[in-house]
Chains A and B, each alone.
Chain A
């Protein structure tokens, strides 16, 4: 039994340094989520041994700038309260190029580390109004976390990744459906990565992603505060991976994508 699985069974911090969750959220949503205060999230990270989480606000799904900006401010506050533990994604709408550039400049200056886009707000990722955003992501080598569900958005992301090779695209909820399309996307583009968060946690999916796309292309994401960190971490640790594959999934790959050195908070 691996040391990580032994720790999981006992509810102890996972003994892998720098565990990095690339898919988190702050704030309320339409259904009830208990305990959404950032300190509670960080407390849970401590119990699990998770060093960092990159979050967007739930308002990343909104379709007006005021709501997005309000959410960015809440993320900034959490980043300031938990430096190095909570990293920020910001979001934009494709209707105002100048505002995209202005918001990106402000948020990157505040220390935000990436971009989160959710097409549930009615804007497809190939909307021409996003062009200024892609230029910034390419130039700065930023991670861009895309909400996906196995549909035509995967082709849109592939086209963007090819045009903007400096961007580091992360397709969320990999394998939600159409697993082979996710694998083809990650195989075709060196700057496309897949994240693992899914509530149903299908047995064998993590292994299939790792074996199919390559252990260096899969990132661990929890989708907290929607899902529990512990549920999504348990899924990864109990998967049939080598210790090297598990460390890459939970820590090393994200450190590389986010461009930071390996860290441990303990």
Chain B
């Protein structure tokens, strides 16, 4: 595994859970990476289930990862119907200008619907640039992810936070929609899960991710390191699949 480049597609910086008193800095992340042999990652700012000031939080994120080439920002985006946010296309342009590798959607705390009457302009702008969408199952259920993937077939969707119980839906979802990708960070830890998905020909659709800082990153590392799969598939999951998605972004 030491020869495999690890890119963490499921990580965050900034404040952790309210009341925890923990704020994750870029230096904290790099310290973790040195211990675990991770060389890069896609970063959101803050926690997924709390109200946010999106432009401010995105600026904090950009500032924290600036000058750190392994750290790729994943800013939050939302429909601009309230007119307090820039138009959707402008949000996407700004994300790309600042080096984003994906865009984070958080419909619940940011109070918007993924239905076309609310979000078509947003997803249309993302699809135009093929900027992957990062979402968490607690924000967008698998049914909703499938509906979005069907509606925007050229737009990649990265799904995280999927529980270990969801294999029946996950394998069907990945087979049904070639533009959906599963992040393997906690709590996705079902016994034999990686081997099973590889056996269904889904090696190109899995992304190494840790769930850091909520989760101990070593858990996901162990899950991949000991998976009983060939090394080329391990490399795809570890970083190559995300690198391919990033290369396909129309910057």
Contact = CB atoms under 8 A, between A and B. Distances in A.
A1 B221 contact: no
Contacts of B217: 203, 238
Give the size range of A's interface with the partner. 35 or more
B35 interface: yes
A209 interface: no
Given A5-B35, A8-B225, A47-B226, A31 B216 contact: no
Contacts of A226: 164, 190-191
Contacts of B192: 33-35, 40, 225, 228
A35 to B, nearest CB: 4
B1 interface: yes
A262 to B, nearest CB: 23
Interface string B201-226: 00000000001111111111111011
B23 to A, nearest CB: 14
B219 A231 contact: yes
B187 interface: yes
Interface in B173-191: 186-187, 189-191
A44 interface: yes
B193 A34 contact: yes
Nearest to A40: B192
B189 A34 contact: no
Contacts of A152: none
Interface in A31-70: 31-36, 40-41, 43-44, 47-48
A10 B225 contact: yes
A231 B223 contact: yes
A8 B37 CA distance: 10
B167 A9 contact: no
A32 B223 CA distance: 18
A239 interface: yes
A5 B2 CA distance: 12
Interface string A210-229: 00000000000000111111
Nearest to B24: A203
A9 B36 contact: yes
A35 B190 contact: no
Given A227-B164, A238-B216, A9 B37 contact: yes
B225 to A, nearest CB: 4
Contacts of A9: 1-2, 36-37, 221, 225
Contacts of B228: 43-44, 47
B191 A227 contact: yes
B33 to A, nearest CB: 12
Contacts of B225: 8-11, 230, 234
Contacts of B193: 34, 228
B97 interface: no
Given A32-B168, A33-B192, A40-B192, A199 B222 contact: no
B70 interface: no
A120 interface: no
A225 B164 CA distance: 11
A204 B2 contact: no
In the A-B complex, the 8 residue pairs with the closest CB atoms? A234-B222, A238-B218, A34-B196, A230-B226, A11-B225, A231-B189, A235-B219, A35-B192
Given A11-B226, A202-B216, A228-B190, 18 more contacts: A1-B35, A8-B222, A10-B2, A34-B195, A35-B191, A35-B196, A41-B191, A43-B228, A47-B228, A199-B187, A202-B214, A225-B191, A227-B190, A231-B189, A234-B222, A235-B218, A235-B219, A238-B35
